[in-house]
């Protein structure tokens, strides 16, 4: 048996945890979620979710990893035997699925870094993305052929991931984060500073920060805050348990969790400012309202931002390169963390070396990821992401806190463990949040999500009911959505039934 890996320094661990947390979600998800859910007033539910669920669960997961010193399944096994182990596998398979398409988005960002140099997208940025780059097919649910223009950068993403993961925890993951994260911060600060000094930036910032307090009475806003915090902090994905299992015995837990949580939020706020300043600039250029250009996700990063870059008053190329490079760096450090969950899990379960686990686990993820580099790739990515996120996060988070707090009754033990090593002592608030507040909000959230999807009550932008998510046909939702969401649970049971080697 190899000796268990360890982080070299405290800063190395924090940078790796922040590297996992800070990802595409901060840049392309947070600004829009905040804007849509009350603007400036969103900070109230956001902070509430951060302090009652985000940081408490981060502390919980750091404590678990540090105490049981194992991958997520091994830590859960040590916590509660086979009855608990499957939860760790479930989280790992959710991470596995995410890694297969997260890599693809990084590949697009790489392409766009290069396209930025001379704004290769021309005037029709949407047509360029869907037609020229992704070569999107007409029928959602059909793969079509491989798109070499996406497949090649995707290969490069996996090569980088392989190099970092093969090099190990200290010499690979820690070193990569020590280089990537400070670089990311500098690059992104440049992007934001340039954005807020553009004409019309103020317009965007006003739209972003304007508080709409009446929205706070809408439960949807609170659910959005909780959902975002889970995704953004990479909790309930097995990631933070895995990373903290590499902490040396004498390591702070509570303070590290606060630092990670606040660093992620600071980055998010910065992204909100930068993105909306840039949107304000574009709205002013085109003489339209900010609400007409605001969007999230693929559309924001790969359709709207290219437009902004094209309209830039000088040094367009540089701004574009820095923006897409931020996406690449933020994405890579998150991808590494997702992959590490199953590298650790496979290697411990089957008693194989770390390198074998990288070769098999990450190799398999890489192969599967090429499905998303086909003509139908974007549709697959869209549905898989929707289902895996919606049901993965809320459900695993909910079951994790209920299992640990109520079923195995481990919170007092964990509190003692964390207090013994940490600068900050946990008070009663920590157990109250995990026992009551989080399960109640997550339970409500889960119920709403199930109802929405089972009754097919999704609406389009104008509020008309369109049935399934995005109006996709039933068969596609079934095999790409429900089967995947159920598949990761079934795989979880199968793997936990196998013997530890
Ligand atoms: N936390 C990352 C982000 O904000 C997303 C992520 C989720 C990364 C799950 C890994 C696993 O983008
Ligand atoms: Na994040």
Distance (Å) from CA 25 to ligand 1 centroid: 6
Q: Are 181 and 334 in contact (CB under 8 A)?
A: no
Which pLDDT does position 288 carry in this prediction? 96
Which pLDDT does position 388 carry in this prediction? 85
| SS3 (DSSP) at 317 | helix
Which pLDDT does position 292 carry in this prediction? 93
Overall average pLDDT of the 245-261 stretch: 97
Distance (Å) from CA 374 to ligand 1 centroid: 24
Q: What is the pLDDT of residues 45-56, one digit of tens each?
A: 999 999 999 999
- For ligand 1, whether the C-beta of 231 sits within 6 Å is yes
What are the backbone dihedrals phi and psi of residue 467, each rounded to the nearest 5 degrees, phi first? 80, -120
Taking the CA of residue 30 as reference, the ligand 1 atom at the shortest distance is 4
Tell which one of 20, 333, 390 to mutate to probe ligand 1, the residue whose CB is within 8 A of the most ligand atoms. Answer: 20
* 3-state secondary structure labels for all residues of 420-460: HHCCCCCCHHHHHHHHHHHHHHHHHHHHHHHHHHHCCCEEC
Average pLDDT score, the chain = 95
Q: What is the pLDDT of residues 189-211, one digit of tens each?
A: 999 999 999 999 999 999 999 99
ipTM over 0.90: yes
Ligand approaching nearest to the C-alpha of 29? 1
Taking the C-alpha atoms of residue 186 and residue 322, their distance in angstroms, rounded to an integer, is 10
Q: What is the pLDDT of residues 446-490, one digit of tens each?
A: 898 899 999 999 998 788 999 999 999 999 999 899 999 999 999
Which pLDDT does position 2 carry in this prediction? 58
Distance (Å) from CA 312 to ligand 1 centroid: 30
Q: What is the pLDDT of residues 77-132, one digit of tens each?
A: 999 999 999 999 999 999 999 999 999 999 999 999 999 999 999 999 999 999 99
- Residue for token digits 């807020």? 196
Minimum CA distance residue for ligand 1 atom 8: 334
Ligand approaching nearest to the C-alpha of 25? 1
Tell which one of 28, 177, 234, 301 to mutate to probe ligand 1, the residue whose CB is within 8 A of the most ligand atoms. Answer: 234
First to last CA, the chain: 10
**Using the 8-state DSSP alphabet, how is residue 4 labeled?**
P
- For ligand 1, whether the C-beta of 338 sits within 6 Å is yes
Q: How many helices (H) and strands (E) does the chain have?
A: 27, 2
Taking the C-alpha atoms of residue 341 and residue 67, their distance in angstroms, rounded to an integer, is 17
Q: What is the pLDDT of residues 361-374, one digit of tens each?
A: 999 999 999 999 99
Q: The tokens of 224 are what?
A: 């959005």
Instruction: Determine what percent of the chain is predicted with pLDDT higher than 90.
Output: 90
What are the backbone dihedrals phi and psi of residue 8, each rounded to the nearest 5 degrees, phi first? -80, -35
Tell which one of 100, 231, 331, 342 to mutate to probe ligand 1, the residue whose CB is within 8 A of the most ligand atoms. Answer: 231
pTM of the model: 0.96
């Amino acid at each position: 048996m190899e000796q268990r890996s360890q982080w070299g320094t405290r800063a190395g661990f924090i940078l790796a945890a922040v590297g996992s947390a800070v990802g595409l979600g901060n840049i392309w998800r947070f600004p829009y979620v905040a804007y849509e859910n009350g603007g400036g007033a969103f900070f109230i539910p956001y902070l509430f979710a951060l302090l009652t669920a985000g940081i408490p669960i981060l502390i919980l997961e750091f404590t678990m990893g540090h105490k049981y010193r194992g991958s997520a399944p091994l830590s859960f096994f040590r916590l509660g035997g086979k009855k608990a182990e499957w939860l760790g596998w479930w989280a790992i398979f959710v991470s596995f699925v995410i890694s297969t398409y997260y890599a693809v988005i990084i590949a697009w960002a790489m392409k766009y870094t290069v396209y930025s140099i001379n704004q290769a997208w021309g005037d029709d940025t949407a047509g360029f993305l869907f037609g020229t780059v992704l070569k999107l097919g007409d029928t959602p649910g059909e793969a079509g052929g491989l798109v070499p223009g996406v497949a090649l950068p995707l290969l490069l993403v996996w090569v980088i991931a392989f190099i970092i993961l093969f090099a190990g925890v200290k010499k690979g993951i820690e070193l990569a984060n020590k280089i990537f994260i400070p670089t990311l911060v500098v690059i992104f600060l440049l992007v934001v500073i340039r954005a807020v000094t553009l004409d019309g930036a103020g317009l965007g910032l006003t739209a972003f920060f304007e508080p709409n307090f009446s929205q706070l009475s809408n439960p949807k806003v609170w659910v959005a805050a909780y959902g975002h915090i889970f995704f953004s902090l990479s909790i309930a994905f097995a990631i933070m348990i895995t990373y903290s299992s590499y902490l040396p015995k004498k390591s702070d837990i509570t303070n590290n969790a606060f630092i990670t949580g606040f660093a992620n939020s600071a980055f998010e706020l910065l992204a909100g400012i930068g993105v909306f300043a840039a949107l304000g600039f574009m709205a002013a250029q085109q003489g339209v309202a900010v609400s007409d250009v605001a969007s999230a996700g693929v559309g924001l990063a790969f359709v709207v931002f290219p437009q902004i870059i094209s309209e830039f008053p000088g040094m367009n190329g540089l701004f574009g390169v820095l923006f897409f490079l931020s996406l690449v760096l933020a994405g890579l450090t998150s991808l590494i963390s997702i992959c590490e969950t199953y590298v650790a899990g496979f290697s411990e379960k089957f008693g194989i070396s770390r390198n074998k686990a990288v070769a098999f686990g990450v190799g398999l993820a890489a192969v599967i990821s090429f499905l998303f580099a086909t003509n139908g790739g974007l549709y697959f990515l869209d549905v898989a992401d929707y289902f895996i996120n919606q049901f993965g996060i809320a459900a695993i988070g909910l079951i994790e806190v209920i299992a640990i707090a109520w079923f195995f009754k481990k919170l007092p033990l964990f509190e003692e463990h964390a207090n013994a090593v940490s600068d900050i002592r946990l008070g009663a608030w920590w157990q109250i949040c995990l026992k009551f507040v989080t399960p109640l909000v997550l339970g409500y959230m889960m119920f709403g999500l199930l109802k929405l999807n089972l009754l097919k009550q999704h609406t389009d932008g104008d509020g008309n009911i369109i049935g399934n998510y995005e109006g996709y046909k039933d068969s596609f939702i079934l095999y790409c959505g429900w089967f995947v969401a159920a598949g990761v649970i079934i795989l979880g049971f199968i793997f936990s039934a196998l013997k530890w080697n």
